[in-house]
Amino acid sequence: MSKLIHLLAGVIASCLCLFLLVQVGTQNASLAASGATSGAITCISSAEQYPDEAPFIAENGAAMKKMMVGMDIKPTGDVDADFAAMMIPHHQGAIDMAMAELRYGKNEQLRRISQEIIVDQQQEIVAMRLALGQPLPASVPAPTQIPPSNASAFSTPGHPFAPPGSKSMSLSMKVK
């Protein structure tokens, strides 16, 4: 029963986030039409103001942009399919943002929450696809937590927390 309540709370929270994102998107469109600055400019100026945080800001910005593009669907007339089509990129966006926290964050409590977000959101993506009879995403190993003090491991190409675009790591390689 508590799993159902947790799932319903997550769906309600996600719907609220979706509603707020649509409202923000509408406001940003109005601002852009009037020549005002957008959220992208805010991210760039934030990265300039906090250069040490620039990789995190850039990665989070890319995750949010990808999520917003993915959630912008054309309705099909099937409420369930449309809901899943919007929520799956929303959940993937949460996963991508949690991965950025694991790569760059230092607060152990927030890093643990990020791990839980990754697992929970992956499970919910699978549950939505199963409910609609859609193919499941490819099975991949779960990311492994590395303490932030071992930051040099983050730059190892192919490491789960390495910056995007790095080369794949061979299965025989182990990160200490």
Domain-wise residue ranges, the chain: 51-134
Would you state the pLDDT for residue 79? 96
Q: What pTM, to 2 d.p., does this model score?
A: 0.58
Would you state the pLDDT for residue 164? 53
Nearest partner of 67 among 25, 110, 32, judged by Cα:
25
Would you state the pLDDT for residue 43? 57
Q: What is the DSSP string of the chain?
A: -HHHHHHHHHHHHHHHHHHHHHHHHHHHHHHHHTT---HHHHHHHHHHH-GGGHHHHHHHHHHHHHHHHHH-----S-HHHHHHHHHHHHHHHHHHHHHHHHHH---HHHHHHHHHHHHHHHHHHHHHHHHTTPPPPPP-PPPPP--GGGGGGGGSTT-TTSPTTPPPPPTT----
- For 51-58, which contacts have Cβ atoms below 8 Å and span 24 or more sequence positions? 53/104, 55/103, 55/104, 55/163, 56/100, 56/103, 56/104, 56/105
Neighbours of 76 (CB within 10 A): 10
Would you state the pLDDT for residue 167? 46
Would you state the pLDDT for residue 140? 72
Q: What is the residue-level pLDDT of the chain in tens, covering all 176 positions?
A: 555 454 444 544 444 444 444 444 444 444 444 444 445 545 556 767 888 899 999 999 999 999 999 999 999 999 999 999 999 999 999 999 999 999 999 999 999 999 999 999 999 999 999 999 998 877 777 664 444 544 444 444 555 555 555 444 333 333 43
Would you state the pLDDT for residue 67? 96
